[in-house]
Amino acid sequence: MTSLYFFHVANFLSTAHELKAYNTKIYCINPKTLHNYMKSYNEMPKNDFKDAWVLADFGRVERCKNLSEWRGATFVALQRLTRYRFNLSQNLSKEKLYVLNNIYLKFSNLKKKEGKNDTVNPFSSLFGATAKATLTEFLSINEII
């Protein structure tokens, strides 16, 4: 099964108590891998029965040996954590840009260092501790000078 249809079927089969007695293992196979395996059967008609037969043959010749067994709960947890981390990084980037825009309105000449020999710009990072302390303590450039 391709697209998103595999997920619920794989979860159902991997948690089915009726199948546990037979010591079954559930694998999700990349459709491209199976399609390439199917090419080895020249001129085989394309129908559901033959597709099921080729899939069973794929498992019979131990092509699933290198695949990892389906772990639905682990997959979902990792997927959610990855999406959450991606969302956090996107939000952090957006908020930093928002803060930099507001800082620019107040201190338009504020820049970070452009190298080790830069003596004009004092901050190596505009989000570092020194820059934060300076921006929160002083309300204008005149107070700094």
For the chain, the structural domain boundaries read: 5-66, 107-145
Give tens-digit pLDDT for 26-58.
888 888 888 888 888 888 888 888 888 988 898
139-144 contacts: CB < 8 A, separation 24 or more?
140/106, 141/107, 141/109
Alpha-carbon gap, residue 65 to 133, rounded angstroms: 58
Q: Give the helix ranges, DSSP H, for 16-107.
A: 17-20, 31-38, 48-60, 72-106
3-class secondary-structure state, position 123: strand
Distances (CA, A) of 21 to 3, 17, 25, 26, 31: 29, 7, 11, 14, 28
More reliable by pLDDT, 39 or 141 = 39
Give tens-digit pLDDT for 58-85.
888 887 778 888 888 888 899 899 999 9
Q: Is pLDDT of 100 > 60?
A: yes
Alpha-carbon gap, residue 53 to 119, rounded angstroms: 73
Q: What is the pTM of this model?
A: 0.54
